[in-house]
Structure 1
Amino acid sequence: MNNFIVGYGETLTTKVDIGGGGGDKKHPYSISEAMKRIGSQLEEIISKIENKPDTECAGGKVVIKFIQHPSYLAKSYYPRKLFSAYGMEDIGSRAVTVKPEQWGVKKHPEAGLASCVFVSGEKSQYRKLLTDLTSNSLTRASEDVLRTLERIEYFDAAEKIKSIDTSGDSLNLEVVIHASADDEYVVRAFDDYASLNGGAVRREKAKVVGGLTFLPVSIPHGKEQILAKFAQLRVLRSIPKLRMNKPETLRSPVSNPVTLPNWNPDILNRDFKVCIFDGGLGDGNHIFNWVTEIVPAGMEGSHPEYLAHGSEVCSAYLFGPALGSDCTLGSPYTTVDIVRVISQGDDDPDLFDVLTRIEDTLKLKTYKYVNLSLGPNIAIDDDEVHVWTSVIDALLQDGDCLAVVAVGNDGDLPGDYGRVQPPSDMVNSLSVGASDGELQGWARAPYSCVGPGRSPGVVKPDGVMFGGAPHNLFRVYSPRIHSFVDTMGTSYAAPYALRVAAGIDAITDFNLSTNTVKALMVHSAKPDEHDLKNVGWGRFPTSPESVITCLDDEATIVFQGELENSKHLRIPVPLPASTDSTWVHLSATFCISAIVDPEHPLRYTRSGLEISFRANEDRFTLDGANADTKPFFSLGKLYPSEYELREDAHKWETTLSRHQRFKRSTLQSPVFDVKYHAREQGGTISEDLPAIRYTLILTIRAEGDNSIYNKILQENQTLQAINVRTRIEIKP
């Protein structure tokens, strides 16, 4: 008999009040030192901007950079009070590595991660700040902010220019402007400035996310340096091409006869809907019973390669890879829609039209699960968030839809060129790389893009799924030719992973949130000693049935609930007192959806969790602190040397997972204390953000005690094993 995972863990939780504290801050600079240093830097900047032409400054405003000392990354030190005191506006930030002149402590690294804040202000406002600074007329609040600064700098045009394709006479650029939906004057001013320099701005294609506006621009080669002088321009780069699979990817027909699963609409789940964004399906396919194609206006024409890719991605979702010598296909768990987002007549080099079709569909809130096996063919940038990531991540932040995204097929390129590609760096998605097999000895497929992702979102890919490799190809049923094809790519790994994720939802008679399904996938992933940057949390399971069952000596409990802003929630680990085991293994996976701020990559998520593990709920020291409080999660253990992370980076990740082993004698009423932190744009603390939904998947394994599952259910009457729909056969 199978033991199924247990639901309603949230009924065991309680709200608690936990005090906090900290010592006095040791400042690197005195106030007098700070005023002298920053004063000379500000004077130099003012001399640079005094003669900056009005055409380069929307609304007469100039953008400069305020770079804080690495000691002041905490949200309480965000320098907004200084800017508001002088009528300036902080419009974004990014992470930079800084070698300070001084540190406030004896033990310190040579360099540290710091926050670079972009500030927009009029020239007169900067002059006023300098006057007050040199005449000692600053308020105490402004002085306190100044001492947190390492330096201020002019935002030079050259550093705004990223990768540029100079092969043609005209450049097709993606330009990012510091302009929210209320800053139309900035976009108009940029349009006028670009026109003065021979450029053309496609304003009708603009994408606005938070405080950023993304625009496609064409301009003569050689004019990019001039364009970058526009004060509110943050970054410009060449528009990448669309990625699906590499052009040289092998696609070899296979002569085996095809036997499709029986069409039985009664066994297909209709409680939720699934969508694939791709090249379409076309007429003459053999999977019309399971797939509905949606063709937006103007997309009637298509290319055979696009249709082949779209139909095979659908096939990978419905049936998985063909297995064995007889090419057995799995049975679908759900039907699926495919939205045609690329077509034969699609000459959209900037991919803005493709993104718009995806965006328009997601806004309808029709689908609980979607798949993206396409995107911009460019590696992610730590400094800036791509328009695809920004737009789609914002649409997913309510947690109502889970997007499964292929990470790209350039993992065999050197260095950062092989990193994951947008929008697989989204924090509110499940990004999928490819493994070269499903049996023992598997590894990352050599083409599969690698991590790390951006922090927050540092663990990317989230995991890997079989996607084929030169020595072990992915055999997919191709509906357009009614035959099997041997191929490979993350394009097939992603829908295969989605098949399992949606299958978990389909076969369980339980209200699973998308966060919970994502958390279950991560929780079940097996790293098998592989490097995190290659496989993320590990190789995902190949069947939903394996996810929802427990081993004989373990119990997996699902906690789904809400966390209130700045409140503590105590989540007990329901380890029975009678557990008969020397060693107890705890595996925990937390998952939330987060509001995102693309203009602040360093503080990209506005929702975070502070998680403390207490091995003994009731054990306290003389000063009232819990003596058994330990960190359970630490990103430093994940990326200890190759990736620089802020000290509290783990608090702002949307997904955390870890396994630890404990001696049974050390665990007495163990608990997790969880606090939801919310921050405004840029990092200042917020008390106004609403409660968020969270998921914790907790597995308690007691080595050798095969009664633990029943003991947990008997001692906690509100817990219930999740029901499984009877149409699915669970194999022992």
Structure 2
Amino acid sequence: MENKKNPKYLPILGYGENLIEPAQKNFGNGPTVFPRTYSEAKARVKKNIIELKRDISQIPREKKIDEIIVTVRLNEKFLAKSYTPNSLFRESKFENVGSRRWIKPLEETTVISKMHFVKVNSSSLDALEDALSKEEAILTKSFKNDIRKLENLSLLKSDEVMQGFEDQWEEGTVEFVLHPFGEKSDKVIEKFKALLIENNVLPEKIKIKEYHDGPIFISALVKRQVIDNISDFNPLRTVHPLKVNLFPELRSFQTDELSLIPPKGEYTSPIKVGVFDGGVDESNPYLSKYVKENESVPSIPHPSGIQHGTQVAGVVLYGDLNKYESFSQLSDPVVVVESFRVLPKSDPRDFDLYEAIDLIEKIVPERNDIDVYNLSFGPIGPIIDDEISRFTYALDTLAWNYRKLFVVAVGNDGHKPAPLNRIQAPADLVNGLGVGSFTYDYSNMGKKRAFYSCIGAGREGCKVKPDLVAFGGDDKFPIHLLSLNHKGKELSAGTSFSSPYIAGKAAELLGRCKQFNALSSRALLIHAATNPNNVDNDLGYGVLDQSVDEILNCDENKVTIVYSASINPTGIAKLSIPLPLNSKLKGDIYISWTIATLSKANMLHAEDYTESAIEHTFYPHHKKYSLKNGKKTKTVHIDNDSELINDLIKEGWQLSGQPVSSSPIKYQNETEKRVELKWDTVVKNWKVMRNTSLEQPFLLLHGMGRNGSSFERMDYSAVVTIHAPKYQGNLYEDILNEYKVLQPISIRSRNEVLIRV
């Protein structure tokens, strides 16, 4: 669709960052309530130290090194990162090497708290004992309060090390995660390998991957007895099973004649989508001019892998084939595919995908010409809240380091009983998109989650999963795909085919709007999605079935603005929402906003996995403030009520530092109501306001960093839509006239993108 030929096409407005101003905000916290007095806590910790020293002395030499990993378990009131007992750690010379959730049993229920992993030695514990023996008056307040936060000091229990194993599990490939030990990592790995070999694990079946400032991942094929024998290896953080089919389950229903004519091949496109899969049939006439096979694993291609990769590539280029009329000719696609065969593995008996991950980690930094990658495969089984797979961590780290967008299928086990129906790694990544499938309700043709599509919630840092859903088909409404038989097509279903649809759209957005980056594309796609419940665990943020032109289009009374900027952790920014100051504003006004951030991931802190995020507050009227006096509160207009404000201040009332804020529409899903999305990399909210309640509204953004990341700037992209159905005039033009710094984005048409061959 071209602007010149269709004057009604109104591109969304860009350069919203020119409306952002620095701001200040006061953050008030009430007094901290501790579960016990210092004297009570001191006696408790002293007893812990005696028991801990005894337990450490009983660890066999082959299962420990000089420094011991100890858990510091906190009371459930102290989950926030700000409650980390740093004074205690400094005083005792404890080295904090990670954290995760701790499920604390109570008499009739359980509560979630946090445990920290620390490295200690005998002198560390002696130092803590010495501190506890000092007079209370000479100890710092912060140290005493840290002691009061503690529930327990102990070693990690074997049943806490083993994660995700079913009772009947007897043998298989597992992933061990070891704590980081810096210069002593080689010694830790050597001891652990020796322990595995001693337990009859073949050395050639042991694979190791170490990350700088991160954990050590080791995969191996083992029996249940091996895990029982080594789960008390002290540097071991966790072990979980790895199950991988050679290729994702294909729900093929039948084949049919492909009554479509291949594109002419007159044009090609510079917009590329990287596809990691099982290879591709480059001779297929629908792919031959638009797909290139690249570097691959040193294994023989598998027919099922070629079939799967061919179908995925076809969806990237054309979407669902049954949307085209029979005997019509396909247009030259606006994107092309760079295929990387990472399956099957060289040794079909290995099930860890480490070979595929190694290749992905090699390729992505080398390919500056590819910004969007699709992955329609991964390990089988639901994600585990307390641990993160190497695959997920690898993608999040690549996305952060190289500003790439990974689009990942969530998995096809959505029909299984909970929790086996939960999304699968690496779709739990926090810097990319996890994509599920929708299909049609046979009774009313409404959209619903396909029965096989895995559901949320996601993990800490991106709890709303899937991020998006696209058509994936089912037995009644299958998706039509390319086949290895060039004259036929496959009728199938699966999240494998929803994900590449989204990947193609993401790449097209970037290719047609040069001012956008991968983060902008991610924010725009989520903002454009629709869900009748706003957000839920079935559809996530909702269905995306719009064209790129539709995503980038405004109406006269429905205007979208994109802001791309960065913020310092602890920084405050005022993001103005450009609502014209005139009398044409009538009735209800609908405002929605989506904010996506890019966060460094920290594998060592499973429940604090995202190192940065943006907290936001909505202020609908810039002149309405609150006055408080004890429990009494009044809302006042800073101009119209100036005399009243002065009188009340003289009586002891206090004026708020910011205007009165307004809470957005709550998420409908009960799970989301009970969790805090404060540290998520994506937030999407909605608000309906009367026109009289709005005047120069704005969002106040607060950058937040943790795990030592407070010095790194955070990139973010915000998308805001203003919908005024009863606006008397042209809202789009009035915004442009009043806010001169905004401009319609420059959208290249398909003809401007395509290059004649």
When normalised by structure 2's length, the TM-score is 0.88
2-structure distance, mates of 1:71, 1:297 = 49
Task: Write the deviation string for residues 184-210 of structure 1: whole angstroms up to 9, x where unpaired.
Answer: 332222223333333345665424264
Q: By how many angstroms is 1:506 displaced?
A: 2.8
Residue 104 of structure 1: aligned partner: none
Counterpart amino acid of 1:680? Answer: N
Which stretch shifts more, 173-182 or 717-726?
A: 173-182
User: 8 Å contact 2:208–2:216 — kept in the other structure?
Assistant: no
Would you say 1:3 and 2:16 are equivalent positions? no
2-structure distance, mates of 1:405, 1:176 = 23
User: 8 Å contact 1:389–1:423 — kept in the other structure?
Assistant: yes
Relative distance call for 1:305 and 1:427 in structure 2 (3 A) is same
Residue 609 of structure 2: aligned partner: 604
2-structure distance, mates of 1:535, 1:250 = 23
1-structure distance, mates of 2:622, 2:170 = 68
Relative distance call for 1:609 and 1:282 in structure 2 (3 A) is same
Which residue among 46, 49, 53 is the counterpart of 1:39?
Answer: 46
User: 8 Å contact 2:258–2:487 — kept in the other structure?
Assistant: no
1-structure distance, mates of 2:222, 2:554 = 60
Residue 339 of structure 1: aligned partner: 340
Q: Residues 662-673 of structure 1: matches in 2 within 5 Å?
A: 662-673=689-700
2-structure distance, mates of 1:259, 1:595 = 46
Q: By how many angstroms is 1:122 displaced?
A: 1.7
Which residue among 366, 386, 405 is the counterpart of 1:364?
Answer: 366
Counterpart amino acid of 1:57? Answer: K
2-structure distance, mates of 1:242, 1:599 = 28
Relative distance call for 1:699 and 1:531 in structure 2 (3 A) is closer
2-structure distance, mates of 1:617, 1:538 = 32
2-structure distance, mates of 1:551, 1:729 = 24
Which residue among 424, 428, 435 is the counterpart of 1:421?
Answer: 424
Counterpart amino acid of 2:26? Answer: G
Task: Write the deviation string for residues 591-647 of structure 1: whole angstroms up to 9, x where unpaired.
Answer: 01100111211110001112111112233345342564436568x7455457853xx
Residue 177 of structure 1: aligned partner: 178
2-structure distance, mates of 1:581, 1:97 = 51
Would you say 1:553 and 2:557 are equivalent positions? yes
Which residue among 569, 583, 586 is the counterpart of 1:581?
Answer: 586
Would you say 1:434 and 2:437 are equivalent positions? yes
2-structure distance, mates of 1:663, 1:81 = 50
Q: Residues 668-707 of structure 1: matches in 2 within 5 Å?
A: 668-680=695-707, 686-689=709-712, 691-705=713-727, 706-707=729-730
User: 8 Å contact 2:664–2:687 — kept in the other structure?
Assistant: no
Secondary structure of the 1:147 match is helix
User: 8 Å contact 1:457–1:653 — kept in the other structure?
Assistant: yes
Residue 392 of structure 1: aligned partner: 395
Residue 548 of structure 2: aligned partner: 544
Task: Write the deviation string for residues 234-279 of structure 1: whole angstroms up to 9, x where unpaired.
Answer: 11122211464325x225211242312332326x2x2x53200001
1-structure distance, mates of 2:672, 2:697 = 33
Residue 275 of structure 1: aligned partner: 274
User: 8 Å contact 2:614–2:703 — kept in the other structure?
Assistant: yes
Which residue among 6, 20, 30 is the counterpart of 1:13?
Answer: 20
Relative distance call for 1:364 and 1:250 in structure 2 (3 A) is same
Which residue among 45, 48, 54 is the counterpart of 2:61?
Answer: 54
Residue 381 of structure 1: aligned partner: 384
Secondary structure of the 1:657 match is strand
User: 8 Å contact 1:558–1:695 — kept in the other structure?
Assistant: yes
Counterpart amino acid of 1:158? Answer: D
Counterpart amino acid of 1:199? Answer: V
Relative distance call for 1:168 and 1:526 in structure 2 (3 A) is closer
2-structure distance, mates of 1:47, 1:341 = 49
Residue 411 of structure 1: aligned partner: 414
Q: By how many angstroms is 1:81 displaced?
A: 2.7
Residue 284 of structure 1: aligned partner: 283
Counterpart amino acid of 1:47? Answer: R
Relative distance call for 1:638 and 1:124 in structure 2 (3 A) is farther
Higher radius of gyration, 1 or 2: 2
Which residue among 397, 404, 407 is the counterpart of 1:401?
Answer: 404
User: 8 Å contact 1:597–1:605 — kept in the other structure?
Assistant: yes
Task: Write the deviation string for residues 489-529 of structure 1: whole angstroms up to 9, x where unpaired.
Answer: 00000001112222222333x31011111111100111123
Secondary structure of the 1:277 match is strand
Counterpart amino acid of 2:723? Answer: R
Q: By how many angstroms is 1:164 displaced?
A: 4.3
Residue 525 of structure 1: aligned partner: 529
Relative distance call for 1:476 and 1:83 in structure 2 (3 A) is same
Counterpart amino acid of 1:711? Answer: D
Relative distance call for 1:343 and 1:278 in structure 2 (3 A) is same
Secondary structure of the 1:432 match is strand
Q: By how many angstroms is 1:531 displaced?
A: 6.4
Which stretch shifts more, 174-183 or 494-503?
A: 174-183
Counterpart amino acid of 1:454? Answer: R
2-structure distance, mates of 1:115, 1:526 = 36
* Structure 2 gap ranges (5+): 1-7, 628-653
Which stretch shifts more, 412-421 or 122-131?
A: 122-131
Q: Residues 229-240 of structure 1: matches in 2 within 5 Å?
A: 229-240=232-243
Q: By how many angstroms is 1:399 displaced?
A: 6.2
1-structure distance, mates of 2:623, 2:376 = 50
User: 8 Å contact 1:318–1:330 — kept in the other structure?
Assistant: no
2-structure distance, mates of 1:252, 1:180 = 54
Which residue among 491, 499, 504 is the counterpart of 2:496?
Answer: 491
User: 8 Å contact 1:49–1:123 — kept in the other structure?
Assistant: no
Would you say 1:711 and 2:734 are equivalent positions? yes
2-structure distance, mates of 1:618, 1:327 = 62
Q: By how many angstroms is 1:99 displaced?
A: 5.8
Relative distance call for 1:466 and 1:486 in structure 2 (3 A) is same
Which residue among 35, 58, 66 is the counterpart of 1:28?
Answer: 35
Q: Residues 441-520 of structure 1: matches in 2 within 5 Å?
A: 441-478=446-483, 481-508=486-513, 510-520=514-524
Which stretch shifts more, 475-484 or 453-462?
A: 475-484
Task: Write the deviation string for residues 513-554 of structure 1: whole angstroms up to 9, x where unpaired.
Answer: 111111111001111238610000000133111101113311
* Structure 1 gap ranges (5+): 102-108
Residue 120 of structure 1: aligned partner: 119
Secondary structure of the 1:520 match is helix
Secondary structure of the 1:541 match is coil
User: 8 Å contact 2:456–2:537 — kept in the other structure?
Assistant: yes
Q: By how many angstroms is 1:124 displaced?
A: 4.2
2-structure distance, mates of 1:676, 1:492 = 36
User: 8 Å contact 2:664–2:686 — kept in the other structure?
Assistant: no
Which stretch shifts more, 167-176 or 425-434?
A: 167-176
2-structure distance, mates of 1:231, 1:345 = 33
Residue 92 of structure 2: aligned partner: 86
Residue 623 of structure 2: aligned partner: 618
Task: Write the deviation string for residues 96-126 of structure 1: whole angstroms up to 9, x where unpaired.
Answer: 343679xxxxxxx976432111122124422
When normalised by structure 1's length, the TM-score is 0.91
1-structure distance, mates of 2:212, 2:458 = 20
User: 8 Å contact 1:321–1:477 — kept in the other structure?
Assistant: no
Residue 646 of structure 2: aligned partner: none
Which stretch shifts more, 187-196 or 125-134?
A: 125-134
Q: Residues 144-159 of structure 1: matches in 2 within 5 Å?
A: 144-159=145-160
Which stretch shifts more, 132-141 or 318-327?
A: 132-141
Residue 648 of structure 2: aligned partner: none
Relative distance call for 1:218 and 1:565 in structure 2 (3 A) is same
Residue 104 of structure 2: aligned partner: 98
Counterpart amino acid of 1:25? Answer: T
| RMSD of aligned residue pairs (Cα, Å) | 2.7
2-structure distance, mates of 1:601, 1:500 = 31
The number of equivalent residue pairs is 707
Residue 105 of structure 1: aligned partner: none
Would you say 1:654 and 2:681 are equivalent positions? yes
2-structure distance, mates of 1:633, 1:228 = 47
Counterpart amino acid of 2:602? Answer: D
1-structure distance, mates of 2:723, 2:133 = 65
